[in-house]
Amino acid sequence: MMQFFLAGVLSAVIAYLLGSISFSILFTKFFSHKDIRSMGSGNAGTTNVLRSVGAKAAVCTFVFDFAKGVVAVLIGKLIFQAFYPTAGLANVMSEFEFVQYGAFIAAAFCVLGHDFPVFFGFKGGKGVLTSWSITLLIDWRLFVITIVVFIVLLLITRVVSIGSIAAAISLPVSVFPLTFFVDYLQHGVGSVTYCVVVSLISLFLGGLLIWKHRSNIKRIREGTEKKLSIHKEK
């Protein structure tokens, strides 16, 4: 178990530091020489960059925020994969299960870094894009489910926060049925412990995302939440 602990700590630290690189702040400073946290909604995220700075800065933010989530999870998986042969857990869990723990640990800490970045005074974004990107390497089914939910709600309401909150809810709602009923019961992949642990991590991620949207939820209730619009660059 010491190998598992070491792999977990290493993955968590690297993922948190990667997540702490706030590209919305960096690209806003590059394109407008301002702090995105003092513009528009005050959120260090792609949507606020799009509204307050423009499409170029938003696209750059989107690409790099998405990439850091993918890279963080990939590193977590590679670290756990490297530790597995010497972990002495071959009779307890499969390599797939061991590596997936690394993916979920890295995912959680990458989002924490994005939301509370050590490099920017622990004031970051809401983690929507990063939370979405991490699902790409964790489980492509979760990636598809969350993006479909987001797009459908966005097209219906034209309110980004509603799509984001719905996607956040769909993550933990989807994880347990997929890992337990499909992977474990039908295909014998993983274990009951694995299903419960990753479901709890997903519940944490979804809950954190919803909590970060508490001001949006208040505006939605009041009917004052803005619909999607794009800042016209000069």
Residue 40 to residue 116: CA distance in whole angstroms: 19
> How sure is the predictor about 92, in pLDDT bands with cuts at 50, 70 and 90?
confident
Q: How confident is the model at residue 229 (pLDDT cuts 50, 70, 90)?
A: low
**Token pair for residue 186?**
């039908």
Report the pLDDT value the prediction gives residue 192, as an integer from 0 to 100. 96
Q: What is the average pLDDT across 56-68?
A: 96
pLDDT at position 230: 55
Q: Report, as an integer, the average pLDDT of 73-96.
A: 92
Mean pLDDT of the chain: 94
Predicted confidence (pLDDT) per residue in 30-61, tens digit? 999 999 999 998 999 998 999 899 999 999 99
Q: What is the mean pLDDT of residues 136-149?
A: 96
Name the least confident of 88-92, 110-114, 165-169, 201-205. Answer: 88-92
pLDDT value, residue 234 = 45
